[in-house]
Structure 1
Amino acid sequence: MHTPELPEDRWRELVNRLRGSLPRMQDEFVERVAKVAEYSDEAVSLPDLRETAAVSIGLIIDALSGKQHYPRMLHFGSELGTRRARQGLSADAVMSAVRLDFPVIWSTLLEEAEDEDAVLLASRAADVWRVVEDYAHAARSSYIETRSQMAQEEAGVRQKFIAALFGAQGRLQETRERFAKTFEVPSECPYEIAAATGRGAEQLRSMANLPNRRSRIFTYEAEDYVYVFWPEAGSGVRTPDMRAELRSVPCGLAWAGGGLKDLPAAARISAALADLADPLHPGPSTVETDWPRLARTRMDSIGVELGAVLARQLGRLREDERERVKETVECFLRSGSVSAAADELYCHRNTILNRLRRFREMTGLDVTVPVQAARVVVACS
């Protein structure tokens, strides 16, 4: 009398049959994975693919036959994740390839099975999928950990190069040329550099760290400032329109016209301008737009308080007259034209001239004389 096979026995028999089909499954896996975009570019050699297919499918078959084989399968999955990360493949490409093990193994199982095995296969489908997913999870976890380590290593190397550029070594042409060669940027083309603190610093970091721009946008941090610098538009290096993006960032923006050798000096200027930035009115402060405030800040810091002196001199006027005189002087300084000031303030040009004369009487400064006008511009900033 024939004794029917138990489901467990029949399952082990089907799994054992898979081993005889391993070469065919290896070929099918390689054919399928070649259609994954990054693999089709020969990022991974054919011998590597074939060996990986044979080992991974063999280990998954072992794991299907018994839990005691799990550790070897998971160990190989971890090694594979690390290797693929070092080869530069994306996580999506790696996972797409790894999960191909399931359709390859399952389709072969279906070919090996008999019609009466349908119920058994239906009950085991989840088990096959779970084993492949455990293998994929091991590969993914290792991949992510390795990529994180690689990013840290890369960031460390990158920051060493940048720190050298801003330190004493940056005065050496060799240092600048090594930086330019390493990051594939020009050494002598103009650069722009932005500096910020507080909220502006966070915005600069976010802008610089977007994945599609890290290779051409560089970040440097010193003291309380975050600096971001990049080759100026038109230098032959494709960079985003950073000036447009900086319109929402309270920061200082300076120009290194001589290239990398001028960056340290430009950084000092951008930091000084960052101190003038107004968080309530975002946008970059530049030498062109804020030189009077920059000059006044520097002069105040050494005790030359032009603004305080001017305020004391005008303080002898009645409040209403003082405000009219100040308004007229500031309006005149914007254009240098008596007629333009008269039109803007809706009054006769003689009124403008009288107020300018009154200002000269109180301060000793004639704003129609350029050198004296410059002093008033700085004092009023």
Structure 2
Amino acid sequence: MHNDDHAADRRWHDLVLGLRADLDGIVEDFLSAVGLLEPYSRGQVPLAVLRHDAVSSFTHLIDELASRPRADHVTIAHDVGTDRARRGVPLPALMSAIRIDVEVLWTRIRGAMRTEDMPLVLDRVERLWEVVERYNRDVQQAYLEEQTLMTREREDEVGTVLTRLLDGPVTPALVGRFAGLLGVPEDGPLLVAAVPTTRRRGLWTWFRELIAERRPVHWQTRGDDALLVTSLTADQARDLRRGIVPARVSSVPCAVGPLADGVEDLPRSARLALRLARVLPVGSEDARRIRDLWLPLARADLDEDALTALVDAVTAPLTALPHADRTRLVSTLRSYLACGSVSETAAASYCHRNTVLNRLGQVRDLTGCDPSIPEQAALLLVCLGALPGETGDM
């Protein structure tokens, strides 16, 4: 029995090593078959590269089948996986090419065997699959690792180009480079959202969703803020122009910049989104635009001396009142400025409308600003947020 096993092993060994003498024919069979697959049929991998890799791969597989493993087998698989990743060959196409290895080797073994070899060959088919599957796994691991590295490299380059765009000047070369890296048209609509990094969870979750959907998107941290840039569909762009934030991002606590009409317009939108992020109220549960944050933005744009002088000039008589009186007047004033209706303010304050009118009259007499006059109401809004104990979040 032992002699029979030994003879079978020796015969298998002879059959497999016989493949080495026919290596050129095996490689040509492989090239003919793989040349029918996309994207190989379009020459995405040069023929010279395919031939070189086929010689190395089949030499390795034949040696493995003959139980003569090569020390460089991992290097061969790594080189093939990384090369195909860099050339943009889809992973399913790469796996299909490797399956052709099995078909070619099996066909050649069957062509070389005698009738009496059938039992020993069938007994070793599993060995053939094991060898090719191990090679397959090594190639796939190298491919995926290279893809991860390429993604990091791309993100780093996108970040570098975006930083240069934001810092200026904007050049056609930068515009084209950013559009190419992000995979969007140069004049395509873009959405920019920003948030303080300490409150980035919601925006980060949306970023991961966009990646899973294979949407063009970029995430970048600038100082204490996080910035997200993504493309928009024509319908989403039209809605954003009309002041309607896209449905998914509308529920994300963040600041949304104005629509960027193409990459050249991106810096304007990004800079404003970052400014809005810095005045985004703590506890926000949805996306805010400039129309929602204009008041804290206007307040933030005043330097400390100017804001202090303005607040003192307008509200000093209010702050001089006893606490209870000041609280009643300010509460009524804020309620009225939020709705512009005496009746609604009265209902919200649980008092008669004449009481509301009297309190608003007191505000006018004390501050010199009439809440019913829009320009003077805006001044009151700016100053109210700076009063001690006031948030200014209407």
Q: Please, what TM-score do these two structures have when normalized by structure 2? A: 0.75
Instruction: Write out aligned runs for 1:1-381 (5 A).
Output: 6-19=7-20, 25-26=26-27, 29-30=30-31, 33=34, 38-39=39-40, 43-44=44-45, 49=50, 52-53=53-54, 55-67=56-68, 69-71=69-71, 73-110=73-110, 112-114=112-114, 116-117=116-117, 119-121=119-121, 123-170=123-170, 172=171, 175-176=174-175, 179=178, 191-201=190-200, 203-205=202-204, 207-208=206-207, 210-211=210-211, 216-230=216-230, 234=234, 243-255=246-258, 263-278=266-281, 280-299=283-302, 301-302=304-305, 304-305=307-308, 310=315, 313=318, 316-317=321-322, 319=324, 322-342=326-346, 348-380=352-384, 381=392
Distance 1:279 1:94, change over 3 A: farther
Q: Please, what TM-score do these two structures have when normalized by structure 1? A: 0.77
Q: Is the 8 A contact 1:314 1:363 kept in 2?
A: no
Q: Is the 8 A contact 2:206 2:249 kept in 1?
A: no
Cα distance in 1 between the residues matched to 2:84 and 2:201: 33
Task: Tell me the SS of whatever aligns to 1:71.
Answer: coil
Q: Is the 8 A contact 2:276 2:290 kept in 1?
A: yes
Task: Tell me the SS of whatever aligns to 1:221.
Answer: strand
Cα distance in 2 between the residues matched to 1:59 and 1:318: 87
Q: Is the 8 A contact 1:328 1:341 kept in 2?
A: yes
Distance 1:189 1:374, change over 3 A: farther
Task: Write out per-residue CA displacement over residues 74-123 of structure 1, whole angstroms, 9 at most, x where no aligned residue.
Answer: 44333322321222112333233224323432354345445654553355
Q: Is the 8 A contact 1:74 1:134 kept in 2?
A: no
User: Which segment drifts farther, 145-154 or 43-52?
Assistant: 43-52
Distance 1:334 1:99, change over 3 A: same
How far off its partner does 1:377 sit?
Answer: 1.6
Q: Is the 8 A contact 1:190 1:235 kept in 2?
A: no
Cα distance in 1 between the residues matched to 2:120 and 2:172: 73
Q: Is the 8 A contact 1:74 1:138 kept in 2?
A: yes
Cα distance in 1 between the residues matched to 2:184 and 2:134: 44
Q: Is the 8 A contact 1:77 1:138 kept in 2?
A: yes
How far off its partner does 1:352 sit?
Answer: 2.5
Q: Is the 8 A contact 1:356 1:367 kept in 2?
A: yes
Cα distance in 1 between the residues matched to 2:105 and 2:187: 58
* Residue segments in structure 1 that go unaligned for 5+ positions in a row: none
Q: In angstroms, what is the RMSD of aligned CA positions?
A: 4.2
Structure 2 letter corresponding to 1:221: T
Q: Percent identity?
A: 29
How far off its partner does 1:46 sit?
Answer: 6.0
Task: Tell me the SS of whatever aligns to 1:255.
Answer: coil
Matched residue count? 376
Cα distance in 1 between the residues matched to 2:114 and 2:338: 93
